[in-house]
Structure 1
């Protein structure tokens, strides 16, 4: 997951730089907002991949001399149930509603969304 984290981190940095330059030169709030959202999405994926790499280490696919048998065994842990996807969906819905109705609702939704994403990432961190 280290390669994927670095790849999406690079994409996120590209979108961040592009957003700054585009915002300064064009003064177009719509395009700037779209680039900031693209940066945020790439940053979330990069953060997730980094946490997976820190938690699990290198995969057999990352090793140059790996055999097919090195990838044998249980593939992944799948949680039986979780409430964090519901919290994340609620946070996204409130954030999107906040874009229409006001900054105060947007910020509340952003907080709920951030807690939902962090809950998903760190739900089984001690496992």
Structure 2
């Protein structure tokens, strides 16, 4: 995680320089600090700082990964790639719910309520997909 931490440290340093510079330049041009842009850049600085801190502390506590060591073997990085769920109909119903909600803006708010109901049902489908049928625990 050293490399990722270095990338985000670069972003933190960049935004530490950029935020005051942006505020100063907009103050010179307009006579007042441009609030929205300065706030967006400051929040980007904070987000980059949080990610850098997480990567730095995690890398320090867990030690180097195989990707960070030059003498590492390929087999050291082997393992489970992740969990891939089986086929599901729930994404289709989520898409239908979103489409009906967008059509509700055009044709009437009653249609949006129907879409919200289907969306709620689809959300429960996402949450409880592995508790029914062939995949229940």
TM-score under structure 1 normalisation?
0.54
In structure 1, the residue matched to 2:23 is 23
Matches within 5 A, 1:100-115: none
In structure 1, the residue matched to 2:74 is 68
Runs of 5+ consecutive residues of structure 2 not aligned to the other structure: 27-32, 82-137
Report how many residues are paired. Answer: 76
Moved more, 65-74 or 52-61: 65-74
Could you tell me how far apart the structure 2 residues matched to 1:6 and 1:63 are? 15
Could you tell me how far apart the structure 1 residues matched to 2:75 and 2:2 are? 22
Rg larger for: 2
In structure 1, the residue matched to 2:51 is 45
SS in 1 for 2:24: helix
Could you tell me how far apart the structure 2 residues matched to 1:32 and 1:14 are? 14
In structure 1, the residue matched to 2:62 is 56
Could you tell me how far apart the structure 1 residues matched to 2:38 and 2:22 are? 6
Q: Displacement of 1:40 after TM fit?
A: 0.5
